[in-house]
């Protein structure tokens, strides 16, 4: 099959498997390698040391999978029209890694069937040393927004990215060259912790998603209040984006629908229930969920911060009991939360 015909067939197979966007990029040196190096040098990766360990491969996607020459880059929408809440939209349902990897591996099987030659390949969904946004822009899927997310003119940015690296010479799509953010700076202005230090530059160590998910230690005291009632992750810089206001999609993938434990609970209720959870209850509530990444101790830490920010006298008892939690991390944040309530003359 001709490279152009095969490329079109592959993209059609991707759409048939529920992906909302599909494009093809040729592997090679990353266009954003210099910016990536500068980001690391400024310490903006924080404690995410795994990013620096795989830096060489991130700079050149040809080094990730031996013999790979092309990337089929896909996106799957997770419902930007869903209401905001204490848990970021992406993390309310089944773990997107599992959902997308299964479908990318199925896509690889389809490629092997339609191709006239043996095909080797490997799928990645936010799990390997790849600058996914770089490949996605090169595959024509969108531009880098000032909030650092990839934005597509038809979908906005509430979607996951995945890549299937294969040892085929496929016709690449035209890269997305336009910058459609214009003079808008709503995302920079809306960030409660000023994590967007300049357009398209994120200091992860100030980002609420990093603080509530990736950070394993204590949340810096000066950043606890700005977190507000966000328990896990943050959507603020996406929710305020005009492209999402206009083009975000309704949730259509059942796998990403909110799990039962989260339905109908405001931030205070969810935080109180989290603080009293056992490990067994945590495992049951968040089975196959992205939320498990922060572990129970991290989620309890976040819950204490939530109650310190929006709690009432009714929350003093659960915070007091958390002072006896086996984890020092939880005890520390519970003590901070109680002090905050007292400072507001609550209790």
Domains of the chain in start order, with CATH, are 3-166 (no CATH), 259-347 (1.25.10.10)
User: What is the Cα–Cα distance from 142 to 159, expressed in whole angstroms?
Assistant: 12
pTM: 0.96
Q: Which helix (H) or strand (E) holds 303?
A: helix 295-310
Residues designated as active site: 126
Q: What is the mean pLDDT of residues 232-255?
A: 98
Q: Distances from the Cα of 232 to the Cαs of 30, 195, 208, 314, in angstroms?
A: 31, 16, 8, 22
User: What is the Cα–Cα distance from 103 to 116, expressed in whole angstroms?
Assistant: 22
181 has pLDDT over 90: yes
Q: What is the average pLDDT value for the chain, to the nearest integer?
A: 96
Q: What is the mean pLDDT of residues 47-54?
A: 92
**pLDDT at residue 3, as a whole number:** 66
Max Cα separation, the chain? 73
Question: If pLDDT is split at 50, 70 and 90, which confidence band does 4 have?
Answer: confident
- Using only C-alpha atoms, what is the Rg of the chain? 21
132 has pLDDT over 80: yes
**pLDDT at residue 1, as a whole number:** 65
Left (φ > 0), alpha (ψ -120 to 50) or beta: where does 28 sit? left
Question: If pLDDT is split at 50, 70 and 90, which confidence band does 347 have?
Answer: low
Structure token pair of residue 215: 């950070």
Q: Which residues pair with 70 in a beta bridge?
A: 26, 166
Sorted by sequence, the CB contacts under 8 Å of residue 76 that are 6+ apart come out as: 18, 19, 20, 96, 99, 100, 103, 159, 160, 162, 253
User: What is the Cα–Cα distance from 238 to 246, expressed in whole angstroms?
Assistant: 12
Question: If pLDDT is split at 50, 70 and 90, which confidence band does 346 have?
Answer: confident
What are the phi and psi torsion angles at 15 (to 5°)? -65, -35
Q: What's the full length of the chain, in residues?
A: 347
């Amino acid at each position: 099959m001709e490279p152009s015909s095969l490329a079109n067939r592959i993209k059609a197979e991707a759409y048939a498997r529920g992906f909302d966007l599909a494009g093809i990029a040729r592997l090679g040196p990353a266009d954003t390698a210099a910016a990536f190096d500068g980001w690391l040098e400024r310490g903006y990766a924080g404690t995410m040391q795994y990013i620096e360990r795989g830096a060489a491969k991130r700079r050149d996607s040809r080094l990730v999978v031996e013999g790979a020459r092309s990337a089929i880059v896909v996106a799957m929408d997770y419902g930007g029209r869903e209401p905001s809440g204490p848990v970021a939209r992406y993390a309310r349902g089944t773990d997107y890694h599992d959902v997308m990897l299964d479908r990318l591996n199925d896509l690889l099987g389809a490629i092997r069937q339609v191709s006239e030659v043996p095909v080797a390949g490997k799928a990645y969904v936010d799990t390997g040393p790849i600058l996914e946004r770089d490949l996605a822009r090169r595959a024509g899927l969108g531009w880098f927004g000032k909030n650092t997310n990839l934005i597509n003119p038809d979908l906005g940015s509430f979607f996951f990215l995945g890549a299937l690296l294969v040892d085929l010479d496929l016709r690449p799509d035209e890269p997305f060259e336009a910058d459609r953010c214009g003079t808008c700076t709503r995302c920079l202005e809306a960030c409660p912790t000023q994590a967007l230090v300049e357009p398209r530059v994120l200091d992860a160590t100030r980002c609420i998603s990093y603080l509530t998910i990736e950070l394993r230690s204590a949340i810096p005291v000066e950043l606890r209040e700005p977190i507000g009632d966000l328990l896990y992750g943050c959507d603020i810089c996406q929710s305020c984006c005009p492209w999402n206001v206009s083009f975000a999609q309704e949730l259509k993938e059942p796998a990403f629908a909110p799990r039962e434990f989260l339905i109908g609970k405001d931030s205070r209720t969810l935080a109180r229930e989290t603080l009293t959870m056992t490990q067994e209850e945590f495992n049951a509530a968040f089975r196959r969920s992205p939320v498990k990444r922060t572990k129970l101790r991290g989620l309890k830490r976040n819950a204490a911060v939530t109650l310190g920010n929006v709690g009432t006298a009714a929350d003093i008892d659960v915070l007091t009991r958390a002072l006896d939690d086996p984890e020092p991390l939880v005890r520390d944040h519970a003590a901070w939360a109680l002090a905050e309530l007292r400072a507001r003359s609550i209790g």
